[in-house]
């Protein structure tokens, strides 16, 4: 089977549909326009329209997860589909193109992160970066987490010596010193690695970033202070990459990184990233995987939280948890996940009088069984049907309460020039990763170090009018 294919999709045809588990290909628009649409209209797409020379379907193809959106042709469109592994190989030969793609997906992740946390912090976008950094240090100081407060407030003092809160920062630093608290020493250098003891802050949110890190040994937890609480976002292990977002954009860190146990990290500085990628192309795949995983998980969690009705949010949350555990929603085999009914309701933000009513609906569902802090989903395919029912009802209720009927977005209304991200032009004359070279690559197969067999369900065909024009 060829690893590239050129096809014509007639206007209105689907390239793939949201939730599709056939994710083996990345797509390049040779000519035309593709619109990316989701069932939950509340989620703002970072790039709703894909045009000549741009790619789509990359995130879910790389991490082998169900599609996050549907892709539909707004006009007759010629698409080149490239096998996941072939696409990665081509990008690895073009570090500058890789950095463009990394930067693009980093900004997409930032958008979803900001949407997620804006649900709790409506005015956070109005707070200057300087005060955001100080507020994190003040939070840790009040929580008596002095080793973190020391790091953050010291960074604040270094970065903003004449800052609005510099006097308060210095007073807190002095108070910590008098109490016997000490600042962590700088990490020890061991060859090309940096060694961190247990509990040391590698970097904090809202400070500038100059390095990304690859974990050689140990673990790192990624946290964020939101709504006066420290939230654990993830725990990374050997081989994982973090800190890549800040070095491919001009924005500050969007989370903090803290070592767990003795940890050895390989730092890669912003100014040497292109050189490192050219010498170690395998790192490109690691960075792609890291960002793609975070985008996909963040998007799922955001999508679940944006439904109006509590019962819809709960079913969306269960559905997403199964997806995160790599369970096919077409499966009919029982699955057990670690979720009590209380934890589920809390995670879905169900409180007050509606809590008992929602719990009652869950307990009435014979497909769900709650027992000793665990939830058994007897048949994931039935869960999918019920989740889709609640989502559809939720959306119909939303549309019924909308004053102006929604029309299908057009090129002019979906994305204004101010909202459009920089174009990922993969058809530059000086790039080997052009649409033409992607098609020509069939005749020159290369070693495939990333390909892992994927089970493709033949029942899940796309509702498209695809015409093979190879």
pLDDT given at position 401: 59
Q: In the predicted model, is pLDDT for residue 221 greater than 90?
A: yes
Q: How wide is the angle at C-alpha 32 spanned by C-alphas 108 and 115, nearest 5°?
A: 20
Q: Which two tokens stand for residue 107?
A: 């900004």
| Mean pLDDT lowest among 9-13, 122-126, 246-250, 353-357 | 122-126
Give the neighbor-by-neighbor strand order of the sheet with 368-371.
Answer: 335-337, 374-377, 368-371
pLDDT given at position 348: 84
For tokens 């589909």, what's the residue? Answer: 81
How far is Cα 405 from Cα 395, in angstroms, rounded to an integer?
A: 13
Q: pLDDT tens for residues 109-143?
A: 878 877 777 665 554 557 788 999 999 999 999 99
Class level of CATH domain 308-400 = mainly beta
Q: Which two tokens stand for residue 432?
A: 């080997």
Kindly indicate the confidence band of residue 176, based on its pLDDT and cuts at 50, 70 and 90: very high
Over residues 338-367, mean pLDDT: 88
Nearest 5°: phi and psi at 370?
-100, 130
Max Cα–Cα distance, the chain, nearest Å: 75
Q: In the predicted model, is pLDDT for residue 324 greater than 60?
A: yes
Q: pLDDT tens for residues 42-89?
A: 777 778 999 998 999 999 998 899 998 999 999 999 999 999 888 888
Of the two residues 169 and 421, the one the predictor is more confident about is 169
Q: Which of 466, 454, 334, 439 is nearest to 90 (CA)?
A: 439
How far is Cα 298 from Cα 108, in angstroms, rounded to an integer?
A: 11
Kindly indicate the confidence band of residue 392, based on its pLDDT and cuts at 50, 70 and 90: confident
Give the whole-number percent of the chain exceeding pLDDT 70: 82
pLDDT given at position 326: 84
Q: Which of 360, 449, 397 is nearest to 89 (CA)?
A: 449
Which CATH code fits 4-111+409-468? Answer: 2.60.120.10
pLDDT given at position 470: 57
| Angle in degrees, 0-180, between the axes of helices 354-364 and 310-324, rounded to the nearest 10 | 50
| Mean pLDDT lowest among 39-43, 331-335, 365-369 | 39-43
The answer to whether 319 and 328 have CB atoms below 8 angstroms apart is: no
C-alpha R_g of the chain: 24
Please indicate, yes or no, whether the overall pTM of this predicted structure exceeds 0.85. no
Over residues 303-327, mean pLDDT: 87
Q: pLDDT tens for residues 195-204?
A: 999 999 999 9
pLDDT given at position 132: 92
How far is Cα 270 from Cα 278, in angstroms, rounded to an integer?
A: 14
Strand partners, 314: none
Q: In the predicted model, is pLDDT for residue 423 greater than 50?
A: no
Burial label for 331, CB within 10 Å (0-12, 13-18, 19+), is: middle
Kindly indicate the confidence band of residue 467, based on its pLDDT and cuts at 50, 70 and 90: low
pLDDT given at position 121: 55
Q: Which of 36, 43, 45 is nearest to 73 (CA)?
A: 36
pLDDT given at position 285: 81
Q: In the predicted model, is pLDDT for residue 460 greater than 90?
A: no
Burial label for 167, CB within 10 Å (0-12, 13-18, 19+), is: exposed
pLDDT given at position 397: 64
Of the two residues 307 and 160, the one the predictor is more confident about is 160
Which CATH code fits 188-280? Answer: 2.60.120.10
The answer to whether 69 and 37 have CB atoms below 8 angstroms apart is: yes
Q: pLDDT tens for residues 280-291?
A: 877 888 888 888
Q: In the predicted model, is pLDDT for residue 448 greater than 80?
A: no
SS3 per residue for the chain: CCCEEEEEECCCCEEECCCCCCCCEEEEEEECCEEEECCCCCCCCCCCEECCCCEECHHHHHHCCCCCCEEEECCCEEEEEEEHHHHHHHHHCCHHHHHHHHHHHHHHHHHHHHHHHHCCCCCHHHCCHHHHHHHHHHHHHHCCCHHHHHHHHHHHHHHCCCCCCHHHHHHHHHHHHHCCCCCCCCCEEECCEEEECCCCEEECCCCCCCEEEEEEEEEEEEEEEECCEEEEEEEECCCCEECHHHHCCCCCCCCEEEEEEEEEEEEEEHHHHHHHHHHCCHHHHHHHHHHHHHHHHHHHHHHHHCCCCHHHHHHHHHHHHHHHCCCCCCCCCCEEECCCHHHHHHHCCCCCCHHHHHHHHHHHCCCEEEECCEEEECCHHHHHHHHHHHHHHHHHHHHHCCCCCCCCCCHHHHCCCCCCCCCCCCCCCCCCCCHHHHHHHHHCCCCCCCCCCCCCCCCCCCCCCEEECC
How far is Cα 116 from Cα 304, in angstroms, rounded to an integer?
A: 10
Round the average pLDDT of the chain to a whole number and report it. 81
How far is Cα 50 from Cα 8, in angstroms, rounded to an integer?
A: 15
Over residues 270-275, mean pLDDT: 84
């Amino acid at each position: 089977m060829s690893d590239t294919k050129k096809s014509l999709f007639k206007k209105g045809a689907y390239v793939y549909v949201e939730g599709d588990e056939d994710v083996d290909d990345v797509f390049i628009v040779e000519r035309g326009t593709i619109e990316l649409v989701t069932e939950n209209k509340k989620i703002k797409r970072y790039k709703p329209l894909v045009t000549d020379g741009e790619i789509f379907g990359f995130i879910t193809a790389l991490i082998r997860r169900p599609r996050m959106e549907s892709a539909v042709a707004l006009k007759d469109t010629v698409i080149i589909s490239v096998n996941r592994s072939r696409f990665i190989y081509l990008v690895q030969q073009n570090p500058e193109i890789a950095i463009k793609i990394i930067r693009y997906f980093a900004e997409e992740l930032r958008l979803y992160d900001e949407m997620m946390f804006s649900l709790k912090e409506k005015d956070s976008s109005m707070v200057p970066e300087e005060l955001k950094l100080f507020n994190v240090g003040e939070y840790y100081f009040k929580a008596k987490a002095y080793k973190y407060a020391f790091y953050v407030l010291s960074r604040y003092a270094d970065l903003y010596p004449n800052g609005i809160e510099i006097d308060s920062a210095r007073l807190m630093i002095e108070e910590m010193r008098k109490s016997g608290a000490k600042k962590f020493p700088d990490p020890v250098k061991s060859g090309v690695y940096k060694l961190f003891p247990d509990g040391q802050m590698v970097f904090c949110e809202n400070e500038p970033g100059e390095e990304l890190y690859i974990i050689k040994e140990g673990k790192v937890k990624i946290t964020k202070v939101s709504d006066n609480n420290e939230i654990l976002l993830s725990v990374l292990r050997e081989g994982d990459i973090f800190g890549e977002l800040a070095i491919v954009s001009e924005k500050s860190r969007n989370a903090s990184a803290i070592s767990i146990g003795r940890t050895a990290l390989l730092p890669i500085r912003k100014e040497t990233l292109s050189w490192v990628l050219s010498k170690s192309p395998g790192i490109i795949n690691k960075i792609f995987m890291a960002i793609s995983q975070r985008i996909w998980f963040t998007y799922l969690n955001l999508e679940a939280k944006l439904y109006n009705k509590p019962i819809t949010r709960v079913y969306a949350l269960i559905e997403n948890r199964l997806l995160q555990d790599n369970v096919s929603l077409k499966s009919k085999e029982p699955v057990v996940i670690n979720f009590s009914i209380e934890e589920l309701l809390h995670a879905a933000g169900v409180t007050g009088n509606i809590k008992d009513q929602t719990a009652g609906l869950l307990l009435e569902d014979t497909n769900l069984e709650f027992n000793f802090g665990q939830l058994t989903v007897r048949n994931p395919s039935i869960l999918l049907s019920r989740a889709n029912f609640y989502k559809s009802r939720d959306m119909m209720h939303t549309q019924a309460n909308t004053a102006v009927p929604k029309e299908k977005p057009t090129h002019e209304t979906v994305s204004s020039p101010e909202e459009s991200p920089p174009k990922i032009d993969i058809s530059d004359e000086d790039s080997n990763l052009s649409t033409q070279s992607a098609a020509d690559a069939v005749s020159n197969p290369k070693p495939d170090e990333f390909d892992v067999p994927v089970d493709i369900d033949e029942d899940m065909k796309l509702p498209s009018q695809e015409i093979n024009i190879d």
